[in-house]
Structure 1
């Protein structure tokens, strides 16, 4: 019971303290500014391959912050790149020449679109003991209850039981996203390779004690949420 209360308080503290960039974009204006984005992310924000994330419906505040962070990293040089924004090498130069209003408009446009669900797969994962277990069941357990033994908080504390996120707070929708992309991001947070989760390091702390098989299982489960 004490562990459950501790993890609930952690989730609530994250909801309270995460800094969120304000966004006030025009989705109609944004529709005219996404021609370059569409090549990888799809005209409506539903990318054709898991190499690139789906942007549709992720939430305006979240998308705006990611665009800001990626642009800041892309514009930085030398050693500053290691401590600035969010490193996405594939986006190098893609946001050059865009002003803040452009970023807000693009974020508003993609936030207004409807994500196409990916779906989860039946799977078995091998845990540390060598035993094969039901991956969907494990993924659901991690998403909804975390892992009290290792200190992993429940994902739904911020991203909600249905995975739709909390747009005003800047927590993105996860349901329907490609499991492969979610897995990549969790591994990046765990390794400290992605660091744009605020001073609280909420995602780095959440992913810190996730095992490889837990990441694989929860990413697959999230892909089937709706």
Structure 2
């Protein structure tokens, strides 16, 4: 598929809701608070983890969170730190946990001044590059705008199952993009939306976008 055409399709979300959950169980946030007690050591009591290697779960979207829990439990998504954590959880348990964390407010990690080195060897302002790729993509290489699915302010699209990315740890975002690019993370559905995006991104673009997202609001 032509890179620019594919980028346009992805930017406008026309490749389908590949991140939709397997089971659309209605979650009970109040019940989920008790069930989520075991999650707090890594992800924080309100889903705002203090450690960059553990993602913030607060406000990511109930549909997205439920799918990730289902995928981790079924081993469709490999997260070594989560091994065995969900074995005893029912579908309703996971729906309740997802509802609890989705109800919380994301605290911004914050962006930082940054220089990144392009493949040409030229060093550029990382914040400016991150903003450009997030908002407009890179039509020359076929990278679509992140804002097409995750919204201009990074709030995501909860009904479609596209997560909020605003405020997430930059280190975590960068790792996920690199994992999608390498094919180490594959739970983005048959349309391979995130793999289709990440495969065209350079290290500089990934690091710049991740840093920009951390402070986007």
**Which TM-score band applies after superposition, normalised by the shorter structure?**
over 0.9
Partner of 2:29: 27
Pick the aligned partner of 1:207 from 184, 198, 203.
198
Matched, 1:150 2:150: no
Counterpart-to-counterpart distance in 1, 2:156 and 2:100? 18
Partner of 1:79: none
Q: Report the TM-score when normalising by structure 2.
A: 0.94
| Contact residue 23 and residue 60 of structure 1 kept, 8 A | no
Counterpart-to-counterpart distance in 2, 1:6 and 1:185? 21
Q: Report the TM-score when normalising by structure 1.
A: 0.91
Cα 1:16–1:161, aligned 2, differ >3 Å: closer, same or farther?
same
**How far did residue 3 of structure 1 move?**
8.0
Counterpart-to-counterpart distance in 2, 1:15 and 1:31? 34
**How far did residue 132 of structure 1 move?**
1.2
| Contact residue 163 and residue 174 of structure 1 kept, 8 A | yes
| Contact residue 15 and residue 169 of structure 1 kept, 8 A | no
**How far did residue 6 of structure 1 move?**
5.8
Matched, 1:86 2:77: yes
Matched, 1:171 2:162: yes
Cα 1:6–1:86, aligned 2, differ >3 Å: closer, same or farther?
closer
Q: 3-state SS of the aligned residue for 2:194?
A: helix
Give unpaired runs (5+ residues) of structure 2: none
Partner of 1:46: 48
Counterpart-to-counterpart distance in 2, 1:48 and 1:118? 9
Number of matched residues?
214
Give unpaired runs (5+ residues) of structure 1: 74-84
Of residues 6-15 and 203-212 in structure 1, the stretch that sits farther from structure 2 once superposed is 6-15
CA shift digits 1:104-141 (9 cap, x unpaired): 00000000001111110011111122111110000001
User: Over the residues paired in the alignment, what is the CA RMSD in angstroms?
Assistant: 1.6
Partner of 2:128: 137
CA shift digits 1:4-51 (9 cap, x unpaired): 776333323446342511241000000010111011001110111101
| Contact residue 15 and residue 158 of structure 1 kept, 8 A | no
CA shift digits 1:143-195 (9 cap, x unpaired): 01111111111000000000000001000000000000000000000000000
Cα 1:34–1:59, aligned 2, differ >3 Å: closer, same or farther?
same
Q: How does 1:47-126 map to 2 (within 5 A)?
A: 47-73=49-75, 85-126=76-117
